[in-house]
Amino acid sequence: MKTSAMAAAAVSVCVVLTAGACGPDKAKGEAGAKPSQSSASASAPVQTPTATPSASADAGKPSAASTGSQPAPATKERAIARYEQYLHALGREDLATVCEVAGPGAKKAEEKGFGPCTSTYVLVFQMISPEQKTALRTATVDPDRVVVRGPERVEMPLEAVRSSATFTEEDLGSYTLEYLKNDYYITDGK
DSSP string, 67-82: PTTPPPP-SHHHHHHH
pTM of the model: 0.67
Query: What pLDDT, on a 0 to 100 scale, did the predictor assign at position 123?
Result: 84
- Across the range 153-161, mean pLDDT stands at 97
Read off φ and ψ for residue 175, nearest 5 degrees: -135, 155
- Across the range 5-28, mean pLDDT stands at 38
pLDDT band at 79; cut points 50, 70, 90 = very high
Whether residue 93 is predicted with pLDDT greater than 70 in this model: the reply is yes
Closest CA to 83 of 70, 69, 64, 66: 64
Query: What pLDDT, on a 0 to 100 scale, did the predictor assign at position 110?
Result: 82
Of 23-27, 71-75, 167-171, the one with minimum mean pLDDT is 23-27
Read off φ and ψ for residue 154, nearest 5 degrees: -130, 135
Burial letters 153-180, b for 16+ CB under 10 A, else e: bbbbbbebbebebebeebbbbbbbbbbe
**Structure confidence by residue, pLDDT tens digits, 175-184:** 999 999 899 9
pLDDT band at 43; cut points 50, 70, 90 = very low
Whether residue 38 is predicted with pLDDT greater than 80 in this model: the reply is no
Q: Which residues contact 43 (CB under 8 A, 6 or more apart)?
A: 29, 30, 31, 32, 63, 65
Closest CA to 63 of 90, 81, 77: 81
